[in-house]
Structure 1
Amino acid sequence: MSTFWQRSAALLRRGASGLRTVSVLTKQGVISPLRPDKLLRIVLAWRRWGITPPLGFAVGAVRHADRPAVIDERGALSYAELSQRTTRLANGLRNRVPRGTRIGVLCRNHHGPIETIVAAAKLGIDVVLLNTGLSTPLLADVIAEQRVGLLVLDAEYRTHLPDLPDDLKAVLAWTEGTTRHDTLEHLIATSSAKHLPRPKRHSRMIVLTSGTTGTPKGARRPDPPGLAPAAAILSRVPLRNGDRILVNAPLFHTWGLAAFQLGSVLGATLVLRRRFDPEQSLGAVQRNQCTSMFAVPVMLQRILELPERVRDEYDHSTLRVVASSGSALPADLATRFQRAFGPVLYNLYGSTEVSWVSIATPHDLRAAPGTAGRPPHGTRVRILGDDGIPVRRGATGRIFVGNDLLFEGYTNGSSRETRDGLMSTGDLGRFDAAARLFVVGREDDMITSGGENVYPKETEDVIAGQPEVSEAAVIGVDDAEFGQRLAAFVVLRADGWLDAEQLRERVRGRLSKFATPRDVVFLDDLPRNATGKVVPRELLARLDT
């Protein structure tokens, strides 16, 4: 009998979850009435492609064929055009990718990487999204480890090619002027538009970890089990059908990739620029009447650093959603951004491995600016002690999460620790009395100084909140007397002045003795990788000098 009731309860939960998914997707315009002939074409596309990138553009070609799918510096491509072009590109790539290998993509933000991902999915070939900031030796290591047989790259990265494997095939994506290399545009123009058969396997997208502490690892992204993952995000971030989304986050990064995936579900228009520039970003919002923007926190910081008179030259009144993720959102930055742009900021806490954990809405960020928000529908989050038992409310512990898009493991065969179906994020956190999640730092960032556990992020937030400070990073370093100590690296505002002792005096009353940084180093800027994350090893090098 107990088994019967367990199965019944599971069926009820699945039914309730399905109804919630339909409700959210209907509210956001993803689901709407269709003529029978269009519905049939969508069903046939689903049978061919499943829940993969080609499906979103095939549906878009049926529902809104002339709507721009992508707008970049070369112009606009409609859903119908992109669907047709990716079929031609898939036919052109079919015999160029050696059997058993993958396609690597080394591109900035433009239509090329999107078309490559969709075309590869039509062939059932895995895609490795490569960080544009990789050095040549690291790039060579990743290409070998990930079995990349064909590399799609922007022309500016051709300088890597002489030091990459001789048998690696290359196709250029974004080019300036003439070239002797194969290009995506040439393949599209000269290849057949013949319909492709259903692939024998689903393509996997492999995203690299940020690699701030060594060689990046490849993380295999799973196939979405349906539209529930999109509904989970949309239940907290009110993106809508037909939105125009400025994607500032790199497409090779999990957050930029999320914008691409959500955009295809929503029938949105993705607005792309190859390089981020804060003023040009505001210009793109005004010119394209963007309703949403995806960015990493340092990009929001750069926008706020523009003089107010410059920001006021651009109309950003169309923006309803500014979605931030990719690294910790400083509390002071959240407050200042909403003061300048209004209640539009949404902060998603997640990672390459676990996708999303929690989402903070503008209301959450007003009430508690340092919060990571609350878990969306269908997401379970637990704060566990070292013994695997949940800690009491308010206590700090290890963050574990369960959702529909936990990654399938690293390509080297390793994975993340799991407990009762929940996966470790590698972070430490706590819930407050209002059930809002706060991330206090990485597990491996915590230091023990003088026998006391110290979390660098707490110190970082206090320093960043000083009016003279533009941004700050705090790390642990070895100390002969106390075992470890904190070192702070600080960038001052253009009109700010502060010395190390003044800064320590400011924060001393808000931090414990061991959380007050012994070292304070002033920098012109923080060393960051291509995804905007601070690189600790480069900070250490600056401390030594």
Structure 2
Amino acid sequence: MTDAHNATIRAAGPAITRATLLDRVERTAAGLAALGVTAGERVALILPNSVEFIEISLAVGRIGAFVVPINWHFKPGEIEYLLDDSAPRALFVADTLAASLPASWHARIPTFAVATPDGAATGLPGYADWRDGFAPCDLPRQLAPGSIVYTSGTTGRPKGVQRVPASAEQQVRMQALRSAMYQITPDSRVAVPGPLYHAFPNQMALHAATLAAHLEIMPRFDPEAFLALVERERITSVGLAPIMFVRLLRLPEAVRKAYDLSSLRWAIHAGGPCAPDVKRAMIDWWGPIIAEYYGGTETGPLTLCDSAEWLAHPGTCGKPVAGAELRIVGPDGHDVPRGSTGEIYGRLHDYPDFTYRGDPAKRAEVALGDLITLGDVGYQDAEGYLYLCDRVRDMVVSGGVNIYPAEVEGALFALDGVSDCAVIGVPDAEYGEAVVALVSGTGLDPQVLRAQLKDRIAGYKVPREIVIVSALERDASGKLRKGGLRDRYLAGWRG
């Protein structure tokens, strides 16, 4: 078994020991306390995958404050909305990303530049020098309340999921569940190739940083580089998104066979449905080590499914985990019979309750008693295995990332010549879903519209295709029936 202080963590550059990591955590915690950050307050991060992301997150939790990880691909307007909504007491931004930060925020709260390999001058105080100016924190350790993750809901802008701090007993039970789900022990060697601003890789990385023998955080996912990493570091456990499977399977067979993956013991995926052919191909390649879970930021993990279960029940995302409650509910609010579809409501009862920051009405909309819906439709078979069919609401999940149609539509409506628009998700072999916009107006050019959108919203939100149509039919209340629009588009409608 690896000694805790000899465990290592690496992102880009040389690895550091856990002893060094924990010393940095304590110094950062002392610095935050000196700034006046207290339990229940918030600290925002605009950082790429890095060791600093982990150490600052752990330090914020050490003093009982919330971490607010912000997608660093966002444009200044999107970042400003999240900062205004979360109202952080301190902000840490990569030096290469400081230019995307709204200028007013530099003066509003303490802001520190985190050095990156491609370093850029910012005029901001450097994080490392600031951190190292403090002795380790001598304040009583607080229970970490976790992160406020902004999740794209169903209407309006993203909402911050702010959870009631867990009790010590709840935290112990959740740590045990995560160890089992991620298959992380003190001897594990873990790879996290996903972006740390997303809930799943964030949670897995933070858990591994304090438990595993080695944690390797990829700065960005590259399929062949990932295989080389598994071989070089003898990785045992990894968390992936289905799109990463697609890209791995697209490698030439000779490349896939060139790397020794025999150390892998567990590869868990989440972040959207995985096409059955893709999952079967991964099991054929890596063996019966592929697992998945279903859940969300609001609910916690609800189901878990290993390879043997999936092969026996193709298409399932598993049975409820211990402590999870699941109901399939019809339009009348009552449970439907096994095998019948309905809206999925669930809750992991060890997860403390949450609210959408600043929007309790939105929280009430997704509740059924003490259960929560993520807007998915599905069914349970006679044995209790859950299958996903569709979503009640219009959120698009592309490459494991939630995309808000209403936000993209808002950006489109701001463009000259656009009189009406609708944004839909359509099936995509690589990403699961792709974003398509149907737009009506005068003098419109799809490529010009896409170029203008790239200046307003993050690139991954820009529709893959913009279709100019003569008109979009709305009902008497002004609502679009997006299911019908999606069907017409898939049938070849082009306006």
Q: Please indicate the TM-score interval, normalised by the length of the shorter structure.
A: 0.7 to 0.9
Q: Does the alignment pair 1:192 with 2:144?
A: no
The 1:543–1:154 alpha-carbon spacing in structure 2 relative to 1, beyond 3 Å, is farther
The 1:101–1:158 alpha-carbon spacing in structure 2 relative to 1, beyond 3 Å, is same
**Residue in 2 aligned with 1:409?**
355
Query: Is residue 243–residue 430 contact of structure 2 (8 Å, CA) maintained in 1?
Result: no
**Residue in 2 aligned with 1:170?**
111
Q: Quote how far apart the aligned CAs of 1:291 are.
A: 0.3
Q: Quote how far apart the aligned CAs of 1:238 are.
A: 3.7
Alpha-carbon separation, structure 1, partners of 2:256 and 2:304: 27
The 1:168–1:233 alpha-carbon spacing in structure 2 relative to 1, beyond 3 Å, is closer
Q: Quote how far apart the aligned CAs of 1:241 are.
A: 2.9
The 1:238–1:194 alpha-carbon spacing in structure 2 relative to 1, beyond 3 Å, is closer
Alpha-carbon separation, structure 2, partners of 1:489 and 1:438: 18
Say which SS state the counterpart of residue 242 (structure 1) adopts: coil
The 5-angstrom pairing of residues 514-529 of structure 1 reads: none
The 5-angstrom pairing of residues 78-477 of structure 1 reads: 78-96=17-35, 102-165=42-105, 166-176=107-117, 177=119, 179=121, 180-199=123-142, 203-210=145-152, 215-224=157-166, 225-235=170-180, 238-264=183-209, 266-403=211-348, 404-405=350-351, 407-414=353-360, 415-416=363-364, 417-445=366-394
Query: Is residue 94–residue 114 contact of structure 2 (8 Å, CA) maintained in 1?
Result: yes
Q: Does the alignment pair 1:538 with 2:463?
A: yes
Alpha-carbon separation, structure 2, partners of 1:435 and 1:427: 17
Query: Is residue 182–residue 239 contact of structure 2 (8 Å, CA) maintained in 1?
Result: no
Alpha-carbon separation, structure 2, partners of 1:533 and 1:386: 36
Alpha-carbon separation, structure 2, partners of 1:211 and 1:489: 20
The 5-angstrom pairing of residues 501-512 of structure 1 reads: none
Query: Is residue 42–residue 86 contact of structure 2 (8 Å, CA) maintained in 1?
Result: yes
Q: Quote how far apart the aligned CAs of 1:231 are.
A: 3.0
What whole-Å deviation, never above 9, does each CA across 1:3-40 have from its counterpart, x for those lacking one? Answer: xxxxxxxxxxxxxxxxxxxxxxxxxx9xxxxxxxxxxx
Alpha-carbon separation, structure 2, partners of 1:488 and 1:420: 33
Q: Quote how far apart the aligned CAs of 1:369 are.
A: 3.2
Say which SS state the counterpart of residue 308 (structure 2) adopts: helix
1:541 alignment partner AA = I
Query: Is residue 329–residue 342 contact of structure 2 (8 Å, CA) maintained in 1?
Result: yes
Say which SS state the counterpart of residue 218 (structure 1) adopts: strand
Q: Quote how far apart the aligned CAs of 1:264 are.
A: 4.8
Alpha-carbon separation, structure 2, partners of 1:429 and 1:140: 36
Alpha-carbon separation, structure 2, partners of 1:212 and 1:314: 42
Q: Quote how far apart the aligned CAs of 1:257 are.
A: 2.0
Unpaired runs of at least 5, structure 2:
406-421, 432-452, 470-493
Out of 367-376 and 243-252, give the one that drifted further: 367-376
What whole-Å deviation, never above 9, does each CA across 1:321-363 have from its counterpart, x for those lacking one? Answer: 1111112222221111112211111111111111111111111
2:219 alignment partner AA = R
Say which SS state the counterpart of residue 245 (structure 2) adopts: helix
Query: Is residue 347–residue 361 contact of structure 1 (8 Å, CA) maintained in 2?
Result: yes
What whole-Å deviation, never above 9, does each CA across 1:504-540 have from its counterpart, x for those lacking one? Answer: xxxxxxxxxxxxxxxxxxxxxxx99xxx9985x7256
The 1:390–1:232 alpha-carbon spacing in structure 2 relative to 1, beyond 3 Å, is farther
1:320 alignment partner AA = R
Alpha-carbon separation, structure 1, partners of 2:211 and 2:63: 24
What whole-Å deviation, never above 9, does each CA across 1:190-241 have from its counterpart, x for those lacking one? Answer: 2223523345x85442111147975321111344413222333555554333
Alpha-carbon separation, structure 2, partners of 1:350 and 1:268: 27
Alpha-carbon separation, structure 2, partners of 1:212 and 1:534: 18
Query: Is residue 354–residue 406 contact of structure 1 (8 Å, CA) maintained in 2?
Result: no
Say which SS state the counterpart of residue 298 (structure 2) adopts: coil
Query: Is residue 154–residue 393 contact of structure 2 (8 Å, CA) maintained in 1?
Result: no
Q: Quote how far apart the aligned CAs of 1:445 are.
A: 4.3
Say which SS state the counterpart of residue 541 (structure 1) adopts: strand
The 1:248–1:167 alpha-carbon spacing in structure 2 relative to 1, beyond 3 Å, is same
1:191 alignment partner AA = F
Query: Is residue 122–residue 196 contact of structure 1 (8 Å, CA) maintained in 2?
Result: no
Say which SS state the counterpart of residue 148 (structure 1) adopts: coil
The 1:108–1:399 alpha-carbon spacing in structure 2 relative to 1, beyond 3 Å, is same
Say which SS state the counterpart of residue 356 (structure 1) adopts: strand
Q: Quote how far apart the aligned CAs of 1:114 are.
A: 0.9
Alpha-carbon separation, structure 1, partners of 2:41 and 2:182: 37
Alpha-carbon separation, structure 2, partners of 1:229 and 1:93: 26
Q: How many positions carry a matched residue from both structures?
A: 414
Larger Rg: 1
Out of 159-168 and 388-397, give the one that drifted further: 159-168
Alpha-carbon separation, structure 2, partners of 1:423 and 1:172: 38
**Residue in 2 aligned with 1:507?**
none
Out of 302-311 and 188-197, give the one that drifted further: 188-197
Query: Is residue 77–residue 102 contact of structure 2 (8 Å, CA) maintained in 1?
Result: no
Say which SS state the counterpart of residue 23 (structure 2) adopts: helix
1:182 alignment partner AA = P
Q: Quote how far apart the aligned CAs of 1:162 are.
A: 4.8
Say which SS state the counterpart of residue 328 (structure 1) adopts: coil
Query: Is residue 50–residue 219 contact of structure 2 (8 Å, CA) maintained in 1?
Result: yes
The two structures have a TM-score, normalised by structure 2, of 0.75
Say which SS state the counterpart of residue 54 (structure 2) adopts: helix
Query: Is residue 378–residue 388 contact of structure 2 (8 Å, CA) maintained in 1?
Result: yes
Alpha-carbon separation, structure 2, partners of 1:421 and 1:490: 35
2:96 alignment partner AA = E
Alpha-carbon separation, structure 2, partners of 1:127 and 1:267: 22
Alpha-carbon separation, structure 2, partners of 1:378 and 1:88: 37
1:371 alignment partner AA = T
Query: Is residue 131–residue 208 contact of structure 1 (8 Å, CA) maintained in 2?
Result: no
Query: Is residue 402–residue 421 contact of structure 1 (8 Å, CA) maintained in 2?
Result: yes
Aligned partner (choices 66, 71, 93) of residue 10 of structure 2: 71
The 1:375–1:95 alpha-carbon spacing in structure 2 relative to 1, beyond 3 Å, is same
Alpha-carbon separation, structure 1, partners of 2:88 and 2:164: 19
Query: Is residue 146–residue 218 contact of structure 1 (8 Å, CA) maintained in 2?
Result: yes
Say which SS state the counterpart of residue 144 (structure 1) adopts: helix
1:185 alignment partner AA = A
